[in-house]
Amino acid sequence: MPRLANSTILKAYRQSPLLPLLLRECRTLDSARNELRWLRQHAIDIAQERRERDYEAHVAQHYASHSEPRPSPDDPAPTPSSPHRTRRIARARPTGWRRTLRTLCHARSRGTPLQYLLGDQPFGDLTILCRKGVLIPRNDTESFTYAAAEQILTRFPPPSPSNAVDKSPIATATPTTPTPAHPNNGPLRILDLCTGTGCIALLLHDLLAPSYPSLKILGVDINPLAIQLSRRNLHHNTALGWLSTRAPAELEFRLGDVLSTPSSFSGSAHNIAALETILPQIPEFLDPTPLQGDSGVKVDIIISNPPYISREAFVDGTTERSVRVFEPVGALVPPELADSEVVAVGCRGEDVFYARIAGMAGRVGARMVLFECGDYGQGERVMELFRQVEGRWEVRIWEDAMGTEGGEAGRRERACLVVAKRAEG
């Protein structure tokens, strides 16, 4: 990491004494200034909340000590000493926010991710709550989720009769799928593996719900904290009205182990059910017409942003210090696998999730698989993986229509989205 120029630090200090602290993590003045603005707003919000809470406590205490009947909230009669107090609370900038801000800036200078300090991260039109122990949604993942929704809409044209008016251009413009999208008119079944905060599942629902009359999205993660958080995110965004009212019924988050199979289950150290045991528990995922030798479950789309950092890349400086120290390793680096039942021999350590999911995709009848990969090299290895598994797959790396700056070499280092479509017939 290049050293910060003294002149930059001085300039930052002249603007605000807190800026040099943020500069340590942000590295550029512009981004430090933005972070300071967000943190300041957050500090003011916290102080305001604290003040209101204190005031509530004070009022409660007042009534407790004076044994007066407390007026009901909708009672217009003013409470003693309250009229001007409430007004002051509503208007004045609360005291104590500067101290809070200083604390936040010091925490940030030590590398604590901004999202853990603020408690959330915007993701599309949603707000995803974040907490220590669960990976923070990335900007890249956000744009990949938008791309994924677009891919899904072209691959599975939404049924036109119900909303022929607004979606017909898309359906007519893309005659890619000769077969009807939904046999039996069931919901579109999407599996989000290693869901973390649940951001991909939630945003996909937000983007697809207007087009499809019925969806079923299942998010699976091995981390109980993540599952807890993803459920909270679901309720949080539904309560705020950013997700449709269908969301609580159509989204589900389950604790599950993607890497283990039921047979290897007995040997695994933890007590978390394997993916194959969870899927049949969801009625929507049961195959109405199971073939023999099939798994008995049916999923249309698998999307995943699994841990994909190699052991070397985790320690050799490719991974940012703040990420390495503050974010959960389990969400970044795949575990070392002892048995080779799940994954073919010769698979690189950082690719085990891809191998496992690609191997499973055919068995559950998935017609589309979308992966976020760490760089283009990994993306190409994943494409190779799909050539080895059963079924014919058309695999490509999704090209971002924009942002080709930094040249070809710079681009290959970036994360990418691999889209695999099963060839029909």
Partner 1 sequence: MLGIPWVCSRCLWRSAGTSFNRRVLVHSRTFKTGSDLSPALLTRARSLAVEHAALTTQLADTFDAKVARRIGELAQVATTLREWDSTTESISELQALLEDPTTEAELKSLAVEDLESSKLLLPGIAQSLKKALIPRHPFAELPCLLEIRPGAGGDEAGLFAFELMKMYMAFCSRRGFRCTIIKKEGGEGSAEDRLSEAVLEIETEGAYDTMRTESGVHRVQRVPATEAKGRTHTSAVSVMVLPSFPETGSDTHGPPGFDDPSSDYYIDPQEVRTEKMRASGAGGQHVNKTESAIRLTHLPTGIVVSMQDSRSQHSNRKKAWQVLRAKLAEQRREAREQELVALRRGAMGGVARMGRGDKIRTYNYGQSRCTDHRSGFTVHNLDDVLAGGQGLESVMDSVQRWLGDSEVAVMAAEASVKQA
193 contacts: CB under 8 Å, gap ≥ 6: 220, 258, 275, 302, 303, 304, 306, 353, 357
Angle between helices 19-26 and 6-15 in degrees, nearest 10 = 130
From 46, 97, 101, 142, residue interacting with partner 1 (rule: CB under 8 A) = 142
The gap from C-alpha 36 to its chain's centroid, in whole angstroms, comes to: 24
From 21, 23, 36, 389, residue interacting with partner 1 (rule: CB under 8 A) = 36
8 A C-beta contact, residue 306 and residue 223: no
The residue assigned the tokens 């900007």 is 139
Sign of CA dihedral 34, 40, 45, 46: positive
The residues facing 21 across adjacent strands are: none
Q: What is the 3-state secondary structure (H, E, C) of 46-65?
A: HHHHHHHHHHHHHHHHHHHH
CA distance 354 to 309: 12
CB of residue 129 to partner 1, shortest distance in Å: 14
From 90, 338, 401, 423, residue interacting with partner 1 (rule: CB under 8 A) = 401
| By the rule CB under 8 A, 242 interacts with partner 1 | no
CA distance 234 to 239: 8
For partner 1, which stretch binds (CB under 8 A), given 52-60, 258-266, 268-276, 305-313? 305-313
CB of residue 233 to partner 1, shortest distance in Å: 15
From 74, 336, 405, 408, residue interacting with partner 1 (rule: CB under 8 A) = 405
From 3, 14, 84, 91, residue interacting with partner 1 (rule: CB under 8 A) = 14
From 153, 220, 415, 418, residue interacting with partner 1 (rule: CB under 8 A) = 415
| By the rule CB under 8 A, 31 interacts with partner 1 | yes
| By the rule CB under 8 A, 45 interacts with partner 1 | no
| By the rule CB under 8 A, 375 interacts with partner 1 | yes
8 A C-beta contact, residue 89 and residue 52: yes
Binding map of partner 1 across residues 158-177, x = CB under 8 A, - = no contact = --------x-----------
Give whichever of 299 and 415 is closer to partner 1, judged by the CB atom: 415
CB of residue 17 to partner 1, shortest distance in Å: 10
8 A C-beta contact, residue 134 and residue 253: no
| By the rule CB under 8 A, 371 interacts with partner 1 | no
Residue 326 burial (CB count, 10 A): 16
| By the rule CB under 8 A, 224 interacts with partner 1 | no
CA distance 258 to 356: 8
Give whichever of 320 and 380 is closer to partner 1, judged by the CB atom: 320
Give whichever of 120 and 284 is closer to partner 1, judged by the CB atom: 120
| By the rule CB under 8 A, 410 interacts with partner 1 | yes
For partner 1, which stretch binds (CB under 8 A), given 46-54, 87-95, 136-144, 217-225? 136-144
# residues near partner 1 by CB under 8 A: 58
Binding map of partner 1 across residues 324-363, x = CB under 8 A, - = no contact = ---x---xx-------------------------------
For partner 1, which stretch binds (CB under 8 A), given 48-56, 245-253, 271-279, 302-310? 302-310
Residue 175 burial (CB count, 10 A): 9
Residues that bind partner 1 (CB under 8 A): 14-16, 19, 26-28, 30-31, 33-36, 38, 113-115, 121-125, 135-136, 138-143, 146, 166, 305, 307-309, 313, 318-320, 322-323, 327, 331-332, 372-375, 401-403, 405-406, 410, 413-415
